[in-house]
Structure 1
Amino acid sequence: MVWDDFWSPFEEMGRMMDELRLFWEVPFEGRHGRSLIAGPRSDKELATRDMRTPLVDVWENEKEVIATFELPGVDKKDIDVNITDESVEVKVEKRTEQKEEKKGVQRIERSYTGFYRRVPLPSHVKADEVKATYNNGVLELRMPKKESGSKVKKIEIR
């Protein structure tokens, strides 16, 4: 049996803490997605606090793990996907600037849109063989599964 096949209480606690943080942050978001509750934040939270969380579906069959992320209004060039053999991270950053100059008046407006989501995968995947498509605001990732490293071996008792 491979060490990665064992259940890890630390990974489970990390997942539970992420869910608990989301449970308390979402009801208390103010305008523009900023939290109404101030407090110390980690570097990761500071980098992603103004980002929305995309809806995601993950399922698997015998050969692959499939994940879809809903990213409405996003250009394909703005999507950044990072995959390990056990998780996938999707990040989108889009910045726009609109300038208007009239006689004696200058107006510059900037906007920022972002999505961020890291999802643990139900099976280990071959990160080098992932296929990604983006159509009508939906990112689909097809990730071939790694062959199970644990094989059953009969042990003879003497």
Structure 2
Amino acid sequence: MHNYDMDEWNEFEHLFQRMMRPFKGLDKIWNDMTSSENAQTFGPYYYGYSLTVGPNGKPVVKEYGNVQPGLIQEADTREPFVDVIVDNKERVLKIVAEMPGVEKKDIKIEVVGRAVNLDAVNGDKKYHTKIPIKQKVDEDSVKATYSNGILEVKFKLNEEDRPQGRTVTVE
């Protein structure tokens, strides 16, 4: 076990303070959210970012969670954690949403244009999110299943529009 001397400890403290600077003030927000008059009757509180690489090689940053830094969430609706999976081999788009504490009958799914709206209400458990669909899908093929707090919505992918072409022989 390493015993830190005071210089090492001060350097660590300085680095920690620098790292936590973007989160300054969150303790007040947390205390406001959890005070008896503002406390939600459910948890957990979560917030984060996911970083993936898009098909064009550029990073895609998605924000998720039921609270946001700097904002006290007044509403009692939370955003479920959602993952969108494209399986080109099976030609399927799958949306997976974590919505524990609700029943199948409580879930409402609407496909509106190029987005899927998910809503569920059961007592104090209230979920809502809107998921954009970037791929071409067959809306008539949509199927949904719900088990153990996990909702899966599947679409068949449409064939991509391929340019019509022909080979030209040189004479």
TM-score (norm 1): 0.57
Given that 1:51 and 1:113 are in contact with CA atoms closer than 8 Å, whether structure 2 keeps it comes out as: yes
Q: Distance in 2 between matches of 1:121 and 1:78?
A: 23
Given that 2:93 and 2:157 are in contact with CA atoms closer than 8 Å, whether structure 1 keeps it comes out as: yes
| Offset, 1:88 | 1.2
Runs of at least 4 residues of structure 1 off by over 6 A? none
2:81 pairs, out of 46, 50, 55, with 55
| Offset, 1:122 | 3.1
- Tell me, what secondary structure is at the counterpart of 1:27? coil
Is structure 2 residue 113 aligned with structure 1 residue 73?
Answer: no
Is structure 2 residue 124 aligned with structure 1 residue 146?
Answer: no
Q: Distance in 1 between matches of 2:71 and 2:100?
A: 21
Q: Distance in 2 between matches of 1:114 and 1:79?
A: 10
Residue-by-residue CA offset, 1:50-99 (whole Å, 9 max, x unaligned): 310000110112211011000011111000001146221101122x4xxx
Q: Distance in 1 between matches of 2:155 and 2:82?
A: 15
- Tell me, what secondary structure is at the counterpart of 1:77? helix
Structure whose residues are more often helix by fraction: 1
Task: Kindly tell me the number of residue pairs found equivalent between the two proteins.
Answer: 108
Q: Distance in 1 between matches of 2:113 and 2:70?
A: 34
Is structure 2 residue 117 aligned with structure 1 residue 89?
Answer: yes
Give aligned-pair identity as a percent: 29
Query: Unmatched 5+ residue regions in structure 2?
Result: 1-60
TM-score (norm 2): 0.53
Q: Distance in 1 between matches of 2:104 and 2:70?
A: 31
Q: CA RMSD in A?
A: 3.1
Q: Distance in 2 between matches of 1:144 and 1:119?
A: 16
Q: Relative contact order: is structure 1 or structure 2 higher (C-alpha 8 Å, sep ≥ 6)?
A: 1
